[in-house]
């Protein structure tokens, strides 16, 4: 029995990994990672261009009261507007900020930025913030409001650092890192269930419609054929993930060498966040430090478990659907029955990431049809150990039950031709079939 199943697994595996589409999709993931990595580095280094702006202030309210930042520099000038319009490029300016006499400070009008190029949204917002600040201070001065007192009451940005108590002691967490990891794992498994499930269904359906199954059924039992096909396609997915991990590791190593200086700077900052000169650098240092504390071995283990568990549950159901249909047009309507729980899972997953300890998140993590997508998304948030154990048991039990049901449908449906299949008839197959 095992020899025949192994032959089917080998056939399914080799047929798919030799296809050009397998090679293309395997290379696309590391290429996407490299593109993302380079984009982050380039955006942090070159994302902001420097703007030199000359200011003509006829109101006199703003003179020397603007603060420069990393991308916008202000230069106040006494030259006429017409002279600057003709010579601002020769004077090495990028544009002119013209401020006319302002009659009403509550409704300032006529303020213009003049240049031969459109100003970016970030620079525009910064200039508007600077002008609003100066006008607010001016109005406070006229109203005899204590500036220091008001400044102390202004909004203060707070960065909440997360410390997690675990069996190994305390560790630093980060909600942003946990959210990104949760989304990545949950969404990847969601896509895998749809793509590889459809692959199993299509493979079964093609063999049935081409009548190849009649020849194969002479040598192996339908249950052996179904299990062999599911395991073979699952091995293809597992191979692809292993190759992705290895290739991404190689890409990270190469990019780490290429951008060694930038990475060393970020790493040094993450070890000493207190030396950060800006709030953004401090946030980046805390996030990078939390990323270094992630137990990726644990993450990969749970990801592979729920990937395989979810695939086996839904792969068996997709195989059952493929065996029951006679025409490709029927596959769309019947596959919806299996696809609906997967789609519901992704919506629950989004809610679970927002509230990882909610009743909905815990319940969906234990329900076998939603657990493969929801629970991996909660793993970075460190759920209770009993929830993880119960979830894993439910996935294993779900796999056994769905395989038992799918085998009974497959046993009868794979050799059933020329008859419109209804759900009532499928129910009879489940009860009356002798698949084992």
CA distance 262 to 114: 36
Tokens of residue 218, six digits: 């002479």
Tokens of residue 242, six digits: 């292993």
CA distance 39 to 42: 5
Closest CA to 5 of 431, 277, 427, 407: 407
CB atoms within 10 A of CB 424: 7
Cα-based distances in Å from 67 to 93, 119, 235: 17, 18, 60
CA distance 147 to 29: 54
CA distance 267 to 295: 18
Instruction: Please report, in tens digits, the pLDDT of each residue of the chain (436 residues total).
Output: 677 778 878 888 888 888 887 788 777 777 776 777 676 666 555 555 678 999 999 988 888 888 888 778 999 998 888 898 888 888 999 999 999 988 887 888 888 899 887 777 778 888 888 888 888 888 888 887 776 776 666 666 666 666 666 666 666 667 777 888 888 889 889 988 888 888 888 888 877 777 776 666 677 777 777 888 888 888 888 888 888 888 878 877 777 777 666 666 666 666 666 655 555 666 666 666 667 777 888 888 999 999 999 988 998 888 888 888 777 666 677 778 888 999 999 999 988 888 888 889 999 999 999 999 999 999 988 888 899 999 999 999 998 999 888 888 887 877 777 777 777 777 777 777 665 5
CB within 8 Å of 197: residues ≥ 6 apart: 311, 314, 315, 317, 318, 338, 342
How many Å is the Cα radius of gyration of the chain? 31
Is 90:84 a contact under the CB 8 Å cutoff? no
pTM flag (> 0.85): no
CA distance 111 to 132: 12
Q: What is the DSSP string of 39-92?
A: HHHHHHHHSS--EEEEEEESSSSSTT-PPP-SSEEEEE--S-HHHHHHHTTTTT
Helix, strand and coil in the chain, % to nearest 5: 70, 5, 25
Region of residue 270 (left: phi > 0; alpha: psi -120 to 50; beta: else): alpha
DSSP H helical ranges for 143-221: 147-153, 175-209, 212-216
């Amino acid at each position: 029995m095992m020899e025949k199943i192994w032959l089917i697994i080998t056939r399914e595996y080799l047929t798919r990994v030799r296809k050009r589409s397998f090679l293309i999709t395997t290379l696309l993931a590391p290429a996407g990672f490299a593109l993302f990595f380079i984009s982050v580095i380039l955006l942090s280094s070159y994302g902001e261009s420097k703007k030199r702006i000359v200011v003509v202030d006829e109101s006199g309210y703003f003179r020397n009261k603007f603060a420069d930042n990393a991308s916008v520099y202000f230069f106040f000038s006494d030259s006429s507007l017409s002279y600057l319009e003709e010579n601002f490029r020769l004077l090495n300016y990028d544009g002119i900020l013209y401020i006319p006499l302002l009659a009403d400070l509550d409704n300032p009008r006529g303020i213009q930025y003049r240049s031969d190029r459109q100003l970016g949204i970030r620079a525009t917002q910064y200039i508007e913030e600077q002008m609003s600040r100066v006008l607010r201070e001016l109005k406070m001065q006229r109203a005899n409001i204590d500036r220091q007192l008001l400044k102390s009451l202004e909004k203060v940005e707070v960065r909440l650092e997360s410390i997690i108590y675990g069996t190994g002691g305390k560790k630093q967490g980060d909600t942003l890192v946990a959210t990104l990891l949760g989304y990545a794992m949950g969404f990847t498994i969601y896509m895998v269930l749809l793509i590889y499930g459809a692959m199993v269904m299509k493979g079964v359906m093609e063999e049935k419609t081409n009548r190849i199954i009649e020849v194969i059924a002479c040598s192996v039992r339908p249950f052996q054929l179904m299990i062999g096909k599911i395991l073979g396609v699952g091995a293809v997915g597992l191979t692809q993930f292993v190759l992705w991990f290895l290739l991404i590791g190689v890409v990270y190593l190469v990019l780490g060498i290429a951008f060694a200086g930038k990475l060393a700077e970020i790493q040094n900052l993450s070890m000493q966040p207190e030396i950060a000169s800006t709030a953004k650098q401090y946030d980046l240092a805390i996030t990078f430090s939390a990323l270094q504390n992630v137990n990726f071995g644990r993450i990969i283990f749970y990801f592979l478990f729920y990937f395989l568990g979810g695939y086996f549950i839904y792969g068996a159901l997709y195989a059952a659907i493929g065996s029951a249909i006679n025409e490709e047009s029927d596959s769309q309507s019947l596959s919806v029955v299996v696809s609906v729980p997967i789609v519901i899972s992704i919506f629950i997953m989004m809610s679970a990431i927002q509230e990882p300890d909610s009743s909905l998140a815990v319940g969906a993590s234990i329900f076998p049809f939603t657990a493969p997508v929801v629970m991996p998304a909660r793993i970075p948030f460190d759920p209770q150990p009993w929830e993880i154990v119960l979830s894993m048991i439910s996935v294993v039990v779900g796999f056994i039950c769905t395989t038992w049901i799918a085998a009974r449908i497959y046993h009868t449906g794979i050799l059933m031709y020329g008859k419109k299949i209804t759900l009532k008839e499928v129910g009879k197959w489940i009860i009356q079939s002798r698949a084992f």
